[in-house]
């Protein structure tokens, strides 16, 4: 079981979730965070902490797609273990639909 970060995180990149993660399974890219599904213990404490509501359980619709993407990107990006300031324009991006096009790594195979 695992949780995954979805495109709702793109350009928001709030790190409230990172601060509560007991196993440090978050990884940081330029425009978003991801969860390493092999490290996630399915505790769920991160999900309610996300202001962008970008974290989903693996039982959510379309979760397998996001878990696969999270796993691929976690292998490429550095681990993040502490809360950091969100980008200055994070609130403006919160709730914007269809942000996957702003994540070039998602388009690579």
The CATH number that applies at residue 33 is 3.30.70.20
- Model pTM score: 0.94
Whole-number pLDDT of residue 108: 65
pLDDT digits (tens, 9 = 90+) for 22-69: 999 999 999 999 999 999 999 999 999 999 999 999 999 999 999 999
Q: Domain tally for the chain?
A: 1
58-98 confidence digits (pLDDT tens): 999 999 999 999 999 999 999 999 999 999 999 999 999 99
8 lies in some domain: yes
Residue 107 confidence (pLDDT): 65
Residue 63 in domain: yes
The answer to the question of residue 109 being in a domain is: no
Residue identified by tokens 């550095």 is 78
Q: How confident is the model at residue 104 (pLDDT cuts 50, 70, 90)?
A: confident
In a domain, 87, yes or no: no
Is 90 within the bounds of a domain?
no
Other CB atoms within 10 A of residue 46 CB: 23
Q: Is residue 88 part of a domain?
A: no
User: Is 91 within the bounds of a domain?
Assistant: no
CA distances from 20 to 24, 68, 95 (A): 9, 23, 22
Q: Determine, yes or no, domain membership for 94.
A: no
Q: Domain range holding 50?
A: 3-82
The residue among 1 and 31 whose pLDDT is bigger is: 31
Residue with tokens 């890219």: 29
């Amino acid at each position: 079981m695992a949780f995954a970060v979805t495109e709702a995180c793109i350009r928001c990149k709030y790190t409230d979730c990172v601060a509560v993660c007991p196993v440090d399974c978050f990884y940081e890219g330029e425009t978003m965070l991801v969860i390493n599904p092999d490290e996630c213990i399915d505790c769920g404490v991160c999900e309610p902490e996300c202001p962008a509501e970008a974290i989903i359980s693996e039982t959510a619709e379309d979760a397998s797609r996001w878990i696969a993407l999270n796993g691929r990107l976690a292998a490429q990006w550095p681990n993040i273990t502490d809360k950091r300031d969100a980008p200055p324009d994070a609130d403006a991006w919160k709730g914007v639909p269809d942000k996957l096009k702003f994540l070039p790594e998602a388009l690579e195979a």
